[in-house]
Amino acid sequence: MGNRPIVWMLHVSCLWIPAGFAMLALSVAGVVPHSLAVHVLTVGAIGGAIIAMVTRTALGHTGRKLVAGPWERLCYWLMIGATLLRAFGPLIPGTPYGFWLDASGACWIVALLAYTIHYVPILISPRADGRAD
């Protein structure tokens, strides 16, 4: 994966798929709650892939270099954090379940808010490379 966050975020998103299925198996065995497994798949795999793809396609279709800058990296790490907090935080004994939901949700919201703040100006501006399409 190297030092290309725009690529490694897709790989990380794909890694959440087997992790989610493993957690589903553990939930059937009664080891973890079913909702944790579902959220590994939805927040980690789907949410991660979405943020990776919308950043990549927005850069490409607006004539910009396919390089993840600080805003993209922030979005990626927040989405990874949201997944980790949601999937594993509730497993820590003696911690309030709601705290982990709130923390995960906050990471998710801030990731998408950061994307919106950074990308709305890009998406409503002319292409950076001057092409008309």
Domains in the chain: boundaries: 5-123
Q: What is the residue-wise DSSP string for 64-127? A: --S---HHHHHHHHHHHHHHHHHHHGGGSTTS-HHHHHHHHHHHHHHHHHHHHHHHHHHHTSPP
The answer to whether residues 85 and 102 touch, using CB atoms and an 8 Å cutoff, is: no
pLDDT for residue 19 = 97
- DSSP label of 3: T
pLDDT for residue 131 = 86
Residues 133 and 119: their CA atoms lie apart, in Å, by 18
pTM, two decimal places: 0.92
Q: Which residues of the chain form beta strands (DSSP E)?
A: none
pLDDT in tens, 27-50: 999 999 999 999 999 999 999 999
Cβ contacts of 60 within 8 Å, gap of 6 or more: 66
The answer to whether residues 74 and 114 touch, using CB atoms and an 8 Å cutoff, is: yes
pLDDT for residue 95 = 93
Phi, psi of 127 (to 5 degrees): -55, 140
